[in-house]
Amino acid sequence: MRDVVVFAVVFGALPFAFLRPFYGLLLFTWLAYMRAPDLSWGAARSFRFSLLVGAVMFLGWFLFDKRPFLRRDRRNFFMIGLAAMVALSYLFAYYHTESATGKFIEFLKVIAVAVFTTAQLDSKNRVRVLVLLMALSFAFYGVKGGIWGLILRDARIIRGPGGLLLDNNDFSLAMVMNIPFLYYLAFSEENRRFRLFLRAAVFLTVMTIVMTGSRGGFLALATVFFALVLKSRYKRLAVPGALVFGLLFLLFIPEHYRERIASIRTAAKEDASAIGRLKAWGVAKEMIIAHPLLGVGFQNFVYAYKDFDPDVGKSVVRVAHNSYLQIWAETGTISFLFFLAALGSTILLMRRLQRLNRVRDGPPWIAHYACIIEVSLYGFLMGAMFLNRGHFDFVYQEIAVGVALYPIALAEMARRERLRAGRRGPARLVIRERGPRFAGGAR
């Protein structure tokens, strides 16, 4: 029955995705984060829905949509540059596997959808709809797992729904990155009951993260909550409130998770998993030194591992356990720099937008949406230190939302300034990377 529902929803929505590519983008996002096919048990589970929706969406854009394919922004060029270097690494790799080919196609699809998103989001309403869809898709699992955790306190999540969320550590990171979405959207939405649901979803999502037992997820969670406290307007209340929440958190979490957290201090010396990660980081360093330009090849870390650690058994398979080293070792230094540039410049752009909004007395929703992207990426930056998730599609779509949000927010600020000044007629907005300049309108 679930397979029938998934097929009916996707194929029923395809005509709309063809005629209105933005609807295709929403459908693609729902499939990527809600993972509806992975909730079924039959043919829908293995059907390539995302590839089909992407093809229909791009064809519809080519035939009907007057918008450009992408927005001219340096972050888009960083992502395209990253894709180009990954392609070179894949072409010149000395190991070629069927799985690497499939993942390479998936990566190109992720980048194409991300840059496409920046042009499709050309209004506040479109940004809001996409951000809500992203948040609620992950909230489905956060709320579901949290309720299950409240009923069975010792329940554990061994694996996620599927795809890039299959591993429990990756699933935990996605839940952490969604907390800023839920938290700040609760301040922006007008419906009171919906705001209450979003706040409850934050608590239940934390419960879900606890159930994964992921230590990397805990560190990412701590980073996100620390950033939320620092960004609070009422720090005198937020700081003691955070301390109380931290104490209650440690008191009421299951014993097995408390032991996992406590083991972080001694993991480097006693924990076999942590020792294996440190060993993998050393091997990654050797790969980088030996192949600094193009790396050992996209998705080739596990295959090249035995060549750089001759003491390891031939049957042992180890990943980098670090997203930064994964990208650097597999696809080279230039690719790694593009990746860091895309992340870092997006965070700086969101911080700049918050300052502009404060100085120019812009609407609160601009600051809230900018904080969503900034704080969520902080969670990824910490979690990526311990997880092999360098090509996480959620990250690239967050960058895309940030790219689109900036000019929309500047235009909204200009409109409000024009209304306050009592001027009539449109203001012409010239957007520069260092900030906005107005011609023929309010200054």
Kindly state the average pLDDT of the residues 187-215. 91
Cα–Cα distance, 34 to 17 (Å, whole number): 18
The percentage of residues in the chain with a pLDDT greater than 70, rounded to a whole number, is 87
Nearest Cα residue to 106 out of 380, 391, 335: 391
Amino acid at 317: V
pLDDT digits (tens, 9 = 90+) for 404-441: 999 999 999 999 888 888 765 555 555 544 444 433 33
Task: Identify the bridge partners of residue 435 per DSSP, sorted by sequence position.
Answer: 432
Cα–Cα distance, 124 to 405 (Å, whole number): 8
Kindly state the average pLDDT of the residues 27-49. 87
Backbone φ, ψ for residue 432 (5° rounding): -120, 160
Cα–Cα distance, 184 to 168 (Å, whole number): 25
Please report the pLDDT score of residue 37 as a whole number: 85
Please report the pLDDT score of residue 274 as a whole number: 66
Q: Is the pLDDT of residue 309 over 60?
A: yes
pLDDT digits (tens, 9 = 90+) for 231-260: 887 766 767 777 777 777 666 677 767 667
**How does the average pLDDT of the chain come out, rounded?**
85
Please report the pLDDT score of residue 379 as a whole number: 95
Cα–Cα distance, 57 to 269 (Å, whole number): 51
Please report the pLDDT score of residue 166 as a whole number: 81
Q: Is the pLDDT of residue 153 over 90?
A: no
Q: Is pTM beyond 0.95 here?
A: no
Which pLDDT band, with edges at 50, 70 and 90, does 270 fall under?
low
Cα–Cα distance, 301 to 318 (Å, whole number): 8
Please report the pLDDT score of residue 319 as a whole number: 78
In this structure, of 24-33, 90-99, 185-194, 338-347, the range with the lowest mean pLDDT score is: 90-99
Task: Identify the bridge partners of residue 159 per DSSP, sorted by sequence position.
Answer: 167
